[in-house]
Amino acid sequence: MSEKRKVLMICLGNICRSPIAEAVFADYISKNNLTDTWNVDSAALIGYHTGKSPDRRAMSTLRDKGITNYSHRARPITAGDFDKFDFIFGMDNNNIAELEGMQPDGSKAKIELLGSYDPNGETIIRDPYYDSDSAGFVKAYEQCVRSVEAFLQEHKN
């Protein structure tokens, strides 16, 4: 069997948006018998939250949507990730600029906005970390669902 295709979800802290994106991707491939084909992880652009579980609002949003088996510890992206992963998805344009600046010459990863796949055209997954409630997390979840599904439909073969 050919090697799995690997996706890395990136945001600033790896405690809000990229864990939601990773959990949504993992849930989709599990439910669609694609775990032999795809692999997913997530990481941060900053090391500040290294080792922490996702924000409680991210976890409660996932639980409310029926994703109860997700766990993750934040980690920073490494130079090696740009060769290990086929796709590295950022959540906003700052993420993309940072990733493009870090990418080692000749490494294989394709860097894209996850929201570039959103059929509703909402390309930016906004940082909800400083919000006072969960609404931004729910919105990020819904954006991730639409984009992950569209990405995997587009890369079926």
Q: Point out which residues bind ligand 4NP (CB under 6 A).
A: 11-17, 48, 127, 129
Residue 41 CA, chain-centre distance (Å), reads 7
Minimum CB distance to ligand 4NP smaller for 12 or for 24: 12
How near is the Cβ of 128 to ligand 4NP at its closest, in Å?
A: 7
How near is the Cβ of 86 to ligand 4NP at its closest, in Å?
A: 22
Looking at this protein, which amino acid is placed at residue 63?
R
**Lookup: tokens for 48:** 């500040």
Which phi and psi (to 5°) does residue 17 adopt? -75, -50
- Our answer to whether residue 17 is catalytic in this structure is yes
Three-state secondary structure readout of 17-79: HHHHHHHHHHHHHHHCCCCCCEEEEEEECCCCCCCCCCCHHHHHHHHHCCCCCCCCCCCECCC
Minimum CB distance to ligand 4NP smaller for 34 or for 102: 102
Closest residue to ligand 4NP, judged by C-beta, is 13
How near is the Cβ of 154 to ligand 4NP at its closest, in Å?
A: 24
Q: Taking the C-alpha atoms of 42, 46, 47 and 48 in order, what is their torsion angle to the nearest 10 degrees?
A: -110
Minimum CB distance to ligand 4NP smaller for 12 or for 88: 12
| Options 55, 92, 118, 127, the catalytic residue | 127
Catalytic residues: 11, 17, 127
